[in-house]
Amino acid sequence: MHEASIVIARPERPAQLVLLFHGVGSSAANLAPLGEAIARARPDVMVVSIDAPFPSGLGSGREWFSVLGITEQNRPERIAKVMPLFLDVISQWQRTSGVGPAGTVLVGFSQGAILSLEATQTEVATNPAERVIALAGRFAIPVRQAPPRLRYNLIHGAQDAVVSHTFSVAAAEALKALGGDATLDLLPGLGHGIDARALQLVIGYLGEQTL
């Protein structure tokens, strides 16, 4: 777990653990404003913005896996290589907070969303979280399973030129076809980013009752 991860809010007895995962070339600090907004709206929630473990090959910021020379063919292998570390980070913060998977929410943007979504497709015995909120994300390869008692909230800018919103559309359809619990919010006029509408959606989903 990289030491630059930021604990934004830590109530004495957190009702929920929210872990934020940034995009490639970014850092934990970039998602701190999102975390602060969540903490204001949900003072009973522990919020941590996770710093990715490796320096980014893009020249600044950090990353979980390199996007240099990335293709549809080699992306899954790169994600599989780092997935044990990603899952271990989640487990570490669950132990630190005293909140288990049933009270954990993964909120990821771009590469952070990709890792959060793919974490639900592993063959581990239990889900790493009870909810994944994916902002401008995608599955590395088409959905393979829709774990029970796990909710997906896919939020995507309709004008995203980096990660096409069509990935979220296809993912939502596939999850539902497998009996999964998934919502899809396409935001007109939004590119590859997070705006006030996306923020309010995140806060709203965090306020929903767990399964």
Model pLDDT, residue 90: 97
- pLDDT-based confidence at residue 125 (cuts at 50, 70, 90): low
Supply the mean pLDDT for the chain.
94
What value does the mean pLDDT take over residues 89-112?
A: 97
pLDDT digits (tens, 9 = 90+) for 157-166: 999 999 999 9
131 contacts 106 by C-beta, under 8 angstroms = yes
Distance CA 25, CA 62 (A): 5
**Residue tagged active-site, from 27, 51, 116, 160:** 160
pTM as predicted: 0.95
- pLDDT-based confidence at residue 1 (cuts at 50, 70, 90): very low
Whether 160 sits among the annotated catalytic residues: the reply is yes
Whether 116 sits among the annotated catalytic residues: the reply is no
In 3D space, the residue among 203, 162, 211, 160 whose CA is nearest the CA of residue 182 turns out to be: 211
Residue 202 CA, chain-centre distance (Å), reads 11
Tell me which of 7 and 2 has the higher pLDDT.
Answer: 7
| Fold classification of 6-206 (topology level) | Rossmann fold (3.40.50)
**Residue tagged active-site, from 110, 156, 168, 185:** 110
Read out DSSP for 145-180? ---TT-EEEEEEETT-SSS-HHHHHHHHHHHHHTT-
pLDDT digits (tens, 9 = 90+) for 20-62: 999 999 999 999 999 999 999 999 999 999 999 999 988 889 9
Orientation angle between helical segments 75-97 and 111-118, nearest 10 degrees: 80
Whether 110 sits among the annotated catalytic residues: the reply is yes
- pLDDT cut 90: percent of the chain above it: 90
Q: Helix (H, G, I), strand (E, B), or coil: what is residue 4?
A: coil
In 3D space, the residue among 187, 189, 199, 195 whose CA is nearest the CA of residue 156 turns out to be: 187
Burial class (CB in 10 A: 0-12, 13-18, 19+), 154: buried
Task: Flag the least confident range among 54-63, 80-89, 127-136.
Answer: 54-63
Tell me which of 207 and 130 has the higher pLDDT.
Answer: 130
148 contacts 129 by C-beta, under 8 angstroms = no
